[in-house]
Structure 1
Amino acid sequence: MTVPPTGQYPQQAPPRPPGPAAPQQFAAAAMGLVKVYGSGPSAVQALGGVNAGFPRGQFSAIMGPSGSGKSTLMHCLAGLDVATHGQVTLGELNLTGMPDKQLTQVRRDRIGFIFQSFNLLPTLTAEQNILLPLELAGRKPDPRWFQTITQALGIAERLRHRPSELSGGQQQRVAVARALVTRPEVVFADEPTGALDSKSGTNLLNFLRQSVNQFGQTVVMVTHDPVAASYADSVTLLADGHIAGRIERPTPDAVLNALRGLGG
């Protein structure tokens, strides 16, 4: 495993608020989660009985070497992939064995997604891209919430522009607004800073931190970068499809040292 150098982003994570006094509730959890791809001699086990919970109202990161199963875990938690064995829950809802139609509705109504590749529709304006999930669900936007997130993300003046007229950082912020506009229970972010320059990456991480601190959002992020992970409240470490540890209130150095200990 090659551990990326620290310092990819010029700023350190802002201070985190004190932890909640009340018992934590998991916004998403896996119990005995096994994921196998293929069958017979060519079968590959990506996850081998994972037990993990991600608290509501917190920023959680998932890290591990390449092939550790971190993206598979996130995809199963988000209902994008189906567990071979075990159970996945979203709040009180059991996603295991859920029919495809119902699972599609859960993803649309209760989950937000942020991907490295933005996934914006080129023919739509920024505003139309942001509001697309609500339009598909037949729901009306909350004008006050829409204004809050677009202003907080610094894209309120760019809403009539198409993706080709926006910088990479602006496109990613549009994608973040799209993920938040439905007020999802959980936002899953898969390497959200991977295609951004250092300044844009810092701005995005600061906003994800802000969305948790100020808006009570729950964020679960897969990342390979120790500095990006330091913005989270906790880091869940994976190795060879199994939980390998957990770091509370992570620092870049603590994360880097833990990754090196996983076979770097």
Structure 2
Amino acid sequence: MTTTPPPGTRGAAVSAVSAVSARHLTKVYGSGDIAVTALNDVSIQFESGQFTAIMGPSGSGKSTLMHLLAGLDSATSGQVLLGETELTALGDNELTKLRRERIGFVFQSFNLLPMFTAYQNITLPSELAGTSPDQSWLDTLIDTFGMRDRLTHKPHQLSGGQQQRVAIARALSTRPDVIFADEPTGNLDSRSGAEVLSFLRRSVRELGQTIVMVTHDPTAAAYADQVVLLADGQIAGTIESPTPESVMSGLDALRTIDQTAVAG
């Protein structure tokens, strides 16, 4: 775990050239005596073309951070920027349009439409936007993810790993600025999970995608370029070029600090 201030730290300056960034981001749920601070003055940036995993104990704020960065929730204070566009200044309609055009999502539950074929699910974002998909780009995705012989299959005819590959291709289909992945291997066995994580990594390495993934699994996090650790709503450190062992060590350090704080 880093001993010097990591790229994203509480109160740190944030470059405007990052793919997505937060500036002094705070999120409080409730008010008065029942107020809970999920994020506390967090500043962090995620560079273009990188694969970042966000980890931390339950209640650390990792899901809250991802939801705010993706424009799925509103901040109590602070800013979220997608490139140079401030999400926190947009209205609901503008946010909906931005999410559709510039952000991709991959969820634990796949979220494929059961009545559609794999190909129809992949091209769904373009259909909803009323635009024509870039066939050359779709062909690249389909071949990269090895889905050419599954395009006419419906979700129930695909394995869990294949369904998640379709979901990733769908997220990539509009060439978004960033993809947010929420526990993308949570419903998969270890073999299928490793396959999906390899495809996410290839998306970054070969297709230049930016991915921010929330996970609780050190093995999954090790596929990323870096791991950002959260604790008590604040950035607790980063791990560069992570391995399962270095991630476990970082998480253990967070638990030790937490236990010491409770004992004190």
Query: Do both share a fold (TM > 0.5)?
Result: yes
Q: Which of residues 215, 226, 239 in structure 2 aligns to 1:223?
A: 215
1:200 matched to 2:192? The reply is yes
- In structure 2, list runs of 5 or more residues that go unmatched: 1-14, 257-264
Secondary structure at the aligned position of 2:123 is classed as: helix
Q: Is contact 2:100-2:125 (8 Å) kept?
A: yes
Give 1:40 shift. Answer: 2.4
Higher relative contact order (CA closer than 8 Å, sequence separation 6+): 1
Q: Which of residues 132, 135, 148 in structure 2 aligns to 1:143?
A: 135
The CA RMSD over aligned residues, in Å, is: 1.3
Q: Which of residues 90, 97, 114 in structure 2 aligns to 1:105?
A: 97
1:34 matched to 2:19? The reply is no
Secondary structure at the aligned position of 2:19 is classed as: strand
Q: Is contact 1:24-1:55 (8 Å) kept?
A: no
Which residue does the alignment assign to 1:25? 17
Q: Is contact 1:179-1:187 (8 Å) kept?
A: yes
Give 1:24 shift. Answer: 9.7
**CA 1:212–1:24: 2 relative to 1, 3 Å:** farther
More helix by share: 2
Q: Which of residues 231, 251, 258 in structure 2 aligns to 1:259?
A: 251
- In structure 1, list runs of 5 or more residues that go unmatched: 1-22
The CA deviation string for residues 169-218 of structure 1, in whole angstroms up to 9 with x for no partner, is 11111100100000000011001011111111111111111111111110
Q: Which of residues 46, 58, 64 in structure 2 aligns to 1:66?
A: 58
TM-score normalised by the chain length of structure 2: 0.89
In the TM superposition, 1:120-159 aligns within 5 A as: 120-159=112-151
Q: Which of residues 234, 237, 240 in structure 1 aligns to 2:229?
A: 237
CA–CA separation in structure 2 for the residues paired with 1:183 and 1:136: 15
Q: Which of residues 52, 64, 86 in structure 2 aligns to 1:94?
A: 86
Which residue does the alignment assign to 2:173? 181
- Consecutive aligned runs of 4 or more in structure 1 exceeding 3 Å deviation: none
Identical-residue share of aligned pairs (%): 63
